[in-house]
Structure 1
Amino acid sequence: MVMAHSAPQASRPGAAVVTGGAKGIGFAISLELARRGYAVVVTGRDQAALDRATREIRAQVTDARVTAVPLDVTSSASVSEAFAVVADVAPLSVLVNNAGVIARRPAAELPDEDWSRVIETDLSGVFRCARAAFPLFVQNGGGAIVNVASIAATVGISGRVAYTSAKAGVEGLTRTLALEWAASGIRVNTVAPGWTLTEMVESGIASGQLNHDALVARIPLRRLANPAEIADAVAYLASPQASYITGQTLVVDGGFLINGNA
């Protein structure tokens, strides 16, 4: 006998923290979560970008609950300060670890400082924020963490050794946290975007560093993702509709990884 199941619903969504939430995919995530009623805490290192993001969200979402909080995920002190602010905004429901940087150099030429900068931001920063969020989730009876990785966690990308290593680490971190924290009602999942039309990618195409037609030819759906499509996947994994999903990676790449002819 199959029993009907209704995903648990909250009367009003609590706080949703988005690291690197002022630009690109991060901004799209912040905007979508605001549309879904969360009290969005947009974080990042660029105060001007944070201010622009909060203004834009308020312009697009009636009665948006949005707060900008400076955050450097490479600093444990900064993370602690930011999550102390989060505790005063609303009960924490969602953490989206999106902040990331990249270093473009061949492995044999990559200096320690570039390796460390990427690993500290893209991997250690995810751990720091999850660790800081844990007691807030426990206090509120659970919640959801969505880590933003990349298809680079699965395929090698020449000249991106630190980035691919960090993103692969994020997937491993996701699985371990999901295992350890399930008993506390905390779900932990990953979204792995493929090629997405962010400002950085558009700039690369415009400058000739990226070949748009060559990229699209490797994607079965024959187009790049819109940041909003990545945001939809993140919002789903954060939502009550994904209440029985944890420790998983949702690839959002238009079929890039399944294309054996790429």
Structure 2
Amino acid sequence: MSATATAVVTGGSAGIGLQICQDLLDRGYEVISLALEESPLRHGRLTSIAVDLSDIEATREAAATVAERGPTTIICNAGVTRSALLEEVTLDDLDDLVNLYFASTILLAQACLPAMKAAQFGRIVMISSRAAVGLATRTVYTATKSGLIGLARTWALELGPAGITVNVVAPGPVPTQMFTDVVPTGSERERKLIESLPVRRLGTPADIARAVLYFADPLNGFVTGQTLFVCGGASVGYLQI
């Protein structure tokens, strides 16, 4: 990997995104983190930009700044969950997640596409969720996370001739802040969840980052339009959180 290769990671300041940033740095990438908060990592090849990616205009500005660096790898990892039964779902929540998952991904891809096409190389990896196959209380989350899978399949068809692959990683339960807000660490709910998983453990950010780095690897240019569930088997069985 050339030290000049540049990757953009959304939600790079914590959890899975933080691990992805660290792994990319370890592989010699220049890394740009876009997140609500500045990254806690300190590294000469890391640039941290604080931005609310659910704000379309703020995202548009950040994307233009990022594009000046000519990145050829985009990891769309930023995420939040909005839990509610159908009766309590709000369209404000839907709008926020559409902006976060769809609008920010589209704007970043559009901004970086010229550099990718000029290089005849690109890697776009989107982080979906095991919830994409259905999960109670996750109406807007499931809808938008499953939409990323369709987006990736469409872009794979469009961008493949330019040497650009587009793939999805769909994590299962990983004890990030977003997860523990719903399932507290050490709780009975967590215990029952672990017992329901075929592998009998929760995932780790490193589990997910390894899958992301597989799709991002320049040598893996014959894989595109695919979704990899890294979920401890939760996507083939019943999961209740």
- The residue type paired with residue 236 of structure 1 is Y
Q: Is 1:40 matched up with 2:19?
A: no
What are the equivalent positions in structure 2 for 1:167-246 lying under 5 Å apart?
Answer: 167-206=145-184, 211-246=189-224
**Contact 1:20–1:98 under 8 Å retained in 2:** yes
- The residue type paired with residue 226 of structure 1 is T
- The residue type paired with residue 178 of structure 2 is M
Structure 2: gaps spanning 5 or more residues: none
Aligned counterparts of 1:169 and 1:233: Cα–Cα separation in 2: 20
Aligned counterparts of 2:239 and 2:36: Cα–Cα separation in 1: 40
Aligned residues: 240
Aligned counterparts of 2:188 and 2:174: Cα–Cα separation in 1: 12
Q: Is 1:141 matched up with 2:124?
A: no
Q: Secondary structure at the match of 1:130?
A: helix
Q: Is 1:160 matched up with 2:138?
A: yes
What are the equivalent positions in structure 2 for 1:28-67 lying under 5 Å apart?
Answer: 28-46=19-37, 50-52=38-40, 54-55=41-42, 58=43, 64-67=44-47
The alignment's TM-score, normalised by the length of structure 1, stands at: 0.84
Structure 1: gaps spanning 5 or more residues: 1-9, 59-63
The alpha carbon displacement at 1:80 in A equals 3.4
Q: Secondary structure at the match of 2:168?
A: strand
**Contact 1:73–1:129 under 8 Å retained in 2:** no
- The residue type paired with residue 95 of structure 1 is I
Aligned counterparts of 2:87 and 2:216: Cα–Cα separation in 1: 39
The alpha carbon displacement at 1:123 in A equals 2.6
Task: Report the structure number with the largest CA radius of gyration.
Answer: 1
Q: Is 1:73 matched up with 2:53?
A: yes
RMSD of aligned alpha carbons:
2.2
Aligned counterparts of 2:88 and 2:183: Cα–Cα separation in 1: 25
Q: Is 1:122 matched up with 2:113?
A: no
Aligned counterparts of 1:142 and 1:235: Cα–Cα separation in 2: 16
1:95: which partner in 2? 74
The alpha carbon displacement at 1:121 in A equals 1.1
Aligned counterparts of 2:97 and 2:193: Cα–Cα separation in 1: 24
- The residue type paired with residue 164 of structure 1 is T
Distance 1:209 1:39, change over 3 A: same
Q: Secondary structure at the match of 2:136?
A: coil
- From 92, 95, 112, the equivalent of 1:113 is 92
**Contact 1:191–1:233 under 8 Å retained in 2:** yes
Describe the superposition over 1:206-241 as per-residue Cα deviations: whole angstroms up to 9, x where unpaired: 378771121112211110111111011101100023
